Amino acid sequence: MGFLLLALTALAGFVILRAPADVVQGVLYKILFVHAPAAFAAYLGFLLTALGGALYLWRNDEKWDRLDVASAEVGLVFCTLNIVTGPIWAKAAWGKPWVWDPRLVVTALLWVTYLAYGLLRSFSEPGARAARFAAVYGIAGVLLIPLNYFAIDLFGGRAQHPENLQRGSLGVGIAGPFLAGTLAMLVAFLYLLMLRLEIQGLRVRRDRVDHENAPEDPA
Amino acid sequence: MNVLRAVLWKDLLSEWRSRDRLPAMLVFALLTVVVLRFSQPGASLAGNPPGAPGLLWVAYVFAAVLGMNRAFALELENEALAGLALVPVDRGWIFLGKAAANLLLLALAQVTTGLFFEILFDVDLLSVAAPFLGVALLGAVGLTAAGTLFAGISVRTRYREVMLPLLLFPLLVPLLVGAVQATAGLLGEGRAGPAALQLLAVYDGVFLIASFLLFEYVLDE
């Protein structure tokens, strides 16, 4: 998996370097090949969070809770990457790192939501109850995504962001690098997710061992 | 349905006897309105100032959070929450009873705060009183549907009073967008836009159903 990721990253880096420069922006636009795929990876992470939560509530199996924790955290990492690369580009292209745009605010909102998710995890007593609470919140959080898309229509404001997922909006010679960037990013997501799952598994085992070796409660 | 009525009655009765939530919500909402008035200094705000709907909803949300924080705090004493969880019915109905009690308290606070806001900010809510009450109610349903669910969670975490707004505020944004747009429409053109009302209704429906189903796992002793 690690080697695959390395190879894909190299490939993506190569084709992105070879991609034609934009007439207006020059090479500046190429941050798109990181920015948009990071958003896809973040969405995937938050969808997996809700899925893991739902499966945990349904099956009551601890392994789904591990997916719940891991995907929320890794999703937050990619959401951060997305939210950091955006203003870097915007500062140069728009002259300002942040302007009013529904999608910017929605992304910031998602970011805050999953920060709160992390806080909820750390503020509740570890165990089945924390897992249940987090699962409930993860499911409620994912409801936010379609509702937010609906909210965007209220402002009618698509001016700052291009239409999403419309192949036609990608210019000549850009689709290939975009695809390579997305692929590399998704593999990176899966790789980090696997590592995080492994860590969580080890943590659960450590807690179990600690629990077994704990001295008898005198009370 | 009987469970809903019983829980609602119990909450209202205990509120009537102790009177600890509604007065706190009212005073806090009025205080918020006064403080917010300072954010818009200047001699005249006449003719429905543009920021007013947002500020009004900020006061509503603060009052709601204050009230809902206490919704389950009382149940923790004497293990009453465990008692509720033991009732052999679908826990969704317990949720609806709790949410209905919160809704009623919030509605009372909303009306009082709205009148106060009308005077301090010089907005004309009274001339659109009936549709505004509808918008306020739609907003309050969504607020209590999401808030009651998260109050059930936050009350059993550390720093419980801190946790509820942290969990609730990000997920409230779509609702507030709709509520503020609808209120602004009422104040400006005398009617709320259909998109804003639709958003409010969809949010209410989604969170009523989701909370009804998910409360099962929140109230799980």
Tell me which of B153, B209, B213 to substitute to probe the interface with A (most A C-beta atoms closer than 10 Å). Answer: B153
Q: pLDDT by residue (tens digit) across A37-56?
A: 898 899 899 999 999 999 99
DSSP, collapsed to helix, strand or coil, labels residue A52 as helix
Backbone angles phi, psi at A26, to 5 degrees: 70, -135
Cβ-nearest to A154 among B163, B195, B207: B195
Instruction: Find where tokens 């505004």 sit.
Output: B132
Taking an 8 Å Cβ-Cβ cutoff, which residues of chain B contact chain A?
A: 146, 149-150, 153, 156-159, 163, 166-167, 170-171, 173-174, 177-178, 181, 193, 195-196, 199, 202-203, 206-207, 210, 214, 217-218, 220
Res. A219: pLDDT tops 60? no
pLDDT range class, residue A218, cuts 50, 70, 90: low
Residue contact B170–A119, C-beta within 8 A: no
CA nearest to A108, candidates A30, A39, A48, A28: A39
Report how far residue B210's alpha carbon sits from residue A140's, in angstroms, rounded to the nearest whole number: 7
The whole-angstrom distance between B179's CA and the closest CA on chain A is 11
Q: Where are the alpha helices (DSSP H) in chain A?
A: 2-18, 32-59, 62-93, 102-123, 128-142, 144-155, 175-213
Q: pLDDT by residue (tens digit) across A96-124?
A: 888 777 778 888 888 999 999 999 988 88
CA nearest to B70, candidates B30, B32, B28, B116: B28
CA angle B36, B38, B41 (to 5 degrees): 125
- Chain B contacts in chain A segment 124-143 (CB below 8 A): 124-125, 129, 132-133, 135-137, 139-141, 143
Which ipTM value was assigned to this complex?
0.83
Rounded mean pLDDT of A174-189? 85
Range of the domain at B165: 2-218
CA angle B71, B74, B78 (to 5 degrees): 145
The whole-angstrom distance between A123's CA and the closest CA on chain B is 5
Would you state the pLDDT for residue B95? 92
pLDDT range class, residue A157, cuts 50, 70, 90: low
Res. A216: pLDDT tops 70? no
pLDDT range class, residue A14, cuts 50, 70, 90: confident
Would you state the pLDDT for residue B138? 95
Cβ-nearest to B153 among A112, A133, A154: A133
Tell me which of A49, A58, A106, A154 to substitute to probe the interface with B (most B C-beta atoms closer than 10 Å). Answer: A154
Would you state the pLDDT for residue B207? 93
Would you state the pLDDT for residue B107? 95
Whole-prediction pTM value?
0.85
Would you state the pLDDT for residue A114? 93
Res. A29: pLDDT tops 60? yes
Report DSSP state, residue B88.
Answer: S
Does A3 lie at the interface with B, CB-CB under 8 angstroms?
A: no
The whole-angstrom distance between A26's CA and the closest CA on chain B is 37
Establish, for the pair of chains A and B, how many residue pairs have beta carbons separated by less than 8 Å. 87
Most confidently modeled range among A148-162, A168-182, B175-189? B175-189
Q: Residue A88 is encoded by which pair of tokens?
A: 């870097």
Chain A partners within 8 Å of B65 (Cβ): none
pLDDT range class, residue A162, cuts 50, 70, 90: low
Instruction: Find where tokens 């010679």 sit.
Output: A173
Would you state the pLDDT for residue B209? 94
Res. A159: pLDDT tops 60? no
Res. A66: pLDDT tops 60? yes
- Nearest chain A residue to B165, by CA: A116
pLDDT above 70 as % of chain A:
82
Backbone angles phi, psi at A194, to 5 degrees: -65, -45
Q: pLDDT by residue (tens digit) across A76-85?
A: 999 999 999 8
Backbone angles phi, psi at A61, to 5 degrees: -110, 130
Contacts of B35 (CB under 8 A, 6+ apart): none
Would you write out chain B's pLDDT as a tens digit for each of its 221 residues?
Answer: 788 888 888 888 888 888 888 999 999 999 999 998 888 776 456 666 778 899 999 999 999 999 998 888 878 877 778 888 888 888 889 899 999 999 999 999 999 999 999 888 888 888 888 999 999 999 999 999 999 999 999 988 888 888 999 999 999 988 998 999 899 999 888 888 888 898 899 999 999 999 999 998 888 76
User: How far is CA A173 from each of CA A169, A183, A212, rounded to the nearest angstrom?
Assistant: 12, 17, 60
Report how far residue B37's alpha carbon sits from residue B40's, in angstroms, rounded to the nearest whole number: 6
Report how far Cα A42 is from the mean position of its chain's Cα atoms. 2
Residue contact B217–A135, C-beta within 8 A: yes
Report how far residue B14's alpha carbon sits from residue B206's, in angstroms, rounded to the nearest whole number: 30
Res. A143: pLDDT tops 80? yes
Report how far residue B151's alpha carbon sits from residue B7's, in angstroms, rounded to the nearest whole number: 16
Q: Residue A31 is encoded by which pair of tokens?
A: 């941050």
User: How far is CA B28 from each of CA B15, B16, B163, rounded to the nearest angstrom?
Assistant: 17, 19, 19
| Long-range contacts at A80-86 (CB < 8 A, ≥ 24 apart) | A80/A111, A81/A34, A81/A38, A81/A42, A82/A35, A82/A38, A82/A39, A82/A42, A82/A107, A83/A107, A83/A108, A83/A111, A85/A31, A85/A34, A85/A35, A85/A38, A86/A35
